[in-house]
Amino acid sequence: MAEIKPEEITHPPMDQLQGFEYCIDSNPSWGEAIVLGFQHYILALGTAVMIPTLLVPLMGGSNDDKVRVVQTLLFVTGVNTLLQTLFGTRLPTVVGGSYAFVVPIISIIHDSSLTRIVDDHERFLQTMRAIQGALIVSSSIQIILGYSQLWGIFSRFFSPLGMVPVVSLVGFGLFDKGFPVVGRCVEIGIPMLILFIASSQYLKHLHVRRLPVLERFSLLITITIIWVYAHLLTVGGAYKYRPERTQFNCRTDRANLISSAPWIKIPYPLQWGAPTFDAGHSFGMMAAVFVSLIESTGTYKAAARLASATPPPAHVLSRGIGWQGIGILLDGLFGTVTGSTVSVENVGLLGSTRVGSRRVIQISAGFMIFFSILGKFGALFASIPFTIFAAVYCVLFGVVAAVGLSLLQFTNMNSMRNLFIVGVSIFLGLSVPEYFFRYTMSAQHGPAHTKASWFNDYMNTIFSSPPTVALIVAVFLDNTLDFKDTGKDRGMPWWARFRTFNGDSRSEEFYTLPFNLDRFFPPS
């Protein structure tokens, strides 16, 4: 065997991922795009159903209330996704419900002024209005940081090295939504995980009329197969005498969505009544908005690579955050029971299908709006057991995490300084939130437990988010620890040209606003 030279086994850094047939501004045929868009819609259902399923019963809501909240969340997700892909970052990202808001929302639910309401439906309405008011006020954080360009200015302290932990933990930090949920119903979760990996990776070279059907549509095909299998187990009585928790995670008829859903219902602003405003609720919710901002920043970086685009310039990132703030404002006006962030699983699907087309995501937004209005049809798809989605998350969250690790190619990982920063920030980003989670589970309240509930919500929310902890640690260390004369090691020469819109000629291709709107909002 001939001797291999060192230069022959190195892989030069690449601005854009290779192997994508359709990138951000190239589009598959309309038929293929519609099926791909429907696939993204199906994937978005997992979070859209799970968050209301968790929160609405705690608020005193009935199955009818839960269905209306699910429909409203899907409707607003569709609207926010269209706004983000048209006028925000213009990256192919779905903007949907966020788990980051759960901590302050549960604090509002347990507010003594609300828990003393005897009638369940009235308590649900009053709690919803309190959540709406907190979302409306706190949305100003992202609106101000985005449209003032302050977040873009702050992003200049980011380096490829500092972003590695943040982007990676956007995926790794959601590990509790993966296999721990799969394990709740292994007879459905394990087959789904194996089948999805086999069809999307090992069988991806099988073509039908030159179309890689299994690579492009493996999620839709495998979910359909396992969903039918789960339904057969349900109607066959496999779970008839199983514990209640097993039935909830395995059966296809436990969500009570189809029977409760109206045939046609159009969500509208203030449908639950006038929002109520409380300073303590709003301050606590601001922490979740800040966490959403950081998580979305990391996800935008991943989406750019998985759409085969260049990193979004600072002003484009700020523009996206500003529109995301508008999205949280819409969440508050419509009453979605949670705020918005960029969907990590849908970004992962871009990599799995190797289709990063913006048009596909816009079509998926159309499906979200359409099926949120036609309640019965939307509820049919929403009855898919969450265990099936959790099996898919095991793959898609991992893809996003790997994209974060891919940024290491632009840094010098033979530097002990860099190894220290990456290792410590990733470890603390996982370890600190795990401590907060375990403490909360055992004590029934977070580590921050003072008489000021807004302060408790703020601290417990911030330090329960892996990407947020990772950003705090990584950016601080990267900009204070031997930072002089280490720009090359940190990857700054590669990153510098993407800071401004005019720094790279490809930015105009990827991020220019439609309808010639850049005349009124010139890029910086």
Model pTM above 0.75? yes
Residue closest to 49 by CA, chosen among 417, 384, 470: 384
- Long-range pairs, 85-88, Cβ under 8 A, ≥24: 85/358, 85/361, 85/362, 85/365, 86/362, 86/514, 87/319, 87/323, 87/513, 87/514, 87/517, 88/319, 88/320, 88/322, 88/323, 88/324
Tens digit of each residue's pLDDT (9 = 90 or more) over 272-328: 999 999 998 998 899 999 999 999 999 999 999 999 888 899 999 999 999 999 999
Residue 157 domain-assigned (yes or no):
yes
Name residues whose C-beta falls within 8 Å of residue 241's C-beta, 6 or more positions apart in sequence: none
CB 119 within 8 A of CB 348: no
The predicted pLDDT at position 124 comes to 95
Residue closest to 142 by CA, chosen among 171, 101, 109: 101
The angle at the Cα of 51, spanning 379 to 221, to the nearest 5 degrees, equals: 50
Tokens 């380096």 correspond to 159
CA–CA distance, 247 with 251 (Å, rounded to integer):
5
CA–CA distance, 81 with 37 (Å, rounded to integer):
12
The H-or-E segment that residue 504 falls in is none
Least confident residue range of 97-101, 373-377, 520-524 = 520-524
Indicate whether 133 pLDDT > 80: yes
The predicted pLDDT at position 253 comes to 76
Q: What is the mean pLDDT of residues 164-174?
A: 95
Residue 145 domain-assigned (yes or no):
yes
CB 307 within 8 A of CB 24: yes
Tokens 């439609």 correspond to 514
Indicate whether 142 pLDDT > 90: yes
Tens digit of each residue's pLDDT (9 = 90 or more) over 13-25: 877 777 788 889 8
Q: What are the DSSP calls for 6-71, one per residue?
A: GGGS-----SS-S--SB-TT----HHHHHHHHHHHHHHHHHHHHHHHHHHTGGGT--HHHHHHHHH
The domain in which residue 229 lies consists of 30-408
Strand partners, 211: 208
φ, ψ dihedrals at 446, nearest 5°: -75, 170
Tokens 């036609």 correspond to 374
Q: Output 85 or 246, whichever has higher pLDDT.
A: 85
In this prediction, what percent of the chain has a pLDDT beyond 90? 64
Indicate whether 1 pLDDT > 60: no
CB 107 within 8 A of CB 116: no
The predicted pLDDT at position 340 comes to 95
Residue 370 domain-assigned (yes or no):
yes
In this prediction, what percent of the chain has a pLDDT beyond 70? 95
Q: At what angle do helices 160-172 and 386-406 cross, to 10 degrees?
A: 170
CA–CA distance, 310 with 313 (Å, rounded to integer):
9
Residue 59 domain-assigned (yes or no):
yes
Residue 440 domain-assigned (yes or no):
no
Residue 308 domain-assigned (yes or no):
yes
Number of domains in the chain: 1
Please give the single-letter amino acid code of residue 24. Answer: I
Name residues whose C-beta falls within 8 Å of residue 224's C-beta, 6 or more positions apart in sequence: none
Indicate whether 8 pLDDT > 70: no
CA–CA distance, 72 with 65 (Å, rounded to integer):
10
Alpha carbon of 299 to those of 93, 199, 407: distances in Å? 9, 26, 13
H-type helices in 148-212, by residue range? 150-154, 160-172, 179-182, 186-197
Q: What is the mean pLDDT of residues 51-56?
A: 92
φ, ψ dihedrals at 98, nearest 5°: -125, 135
Q: What is the mean pLDDT of residues 81-92?
A: 95
Residue 107 domain-assigned (yes or no):
yes
Residue 9 binned pLDDT confidence (cut-offs 50, 70, 90) = low
Residue 9 domain-assigned (yes or no):
no
Alpha carbon of 265 to those of 63, 68, 192, 224: distances in Å? 15, 8, 33, 26
φ, ψ dihedrals at 399, nearest 5°: -65, -45
Strand partners, 82: none
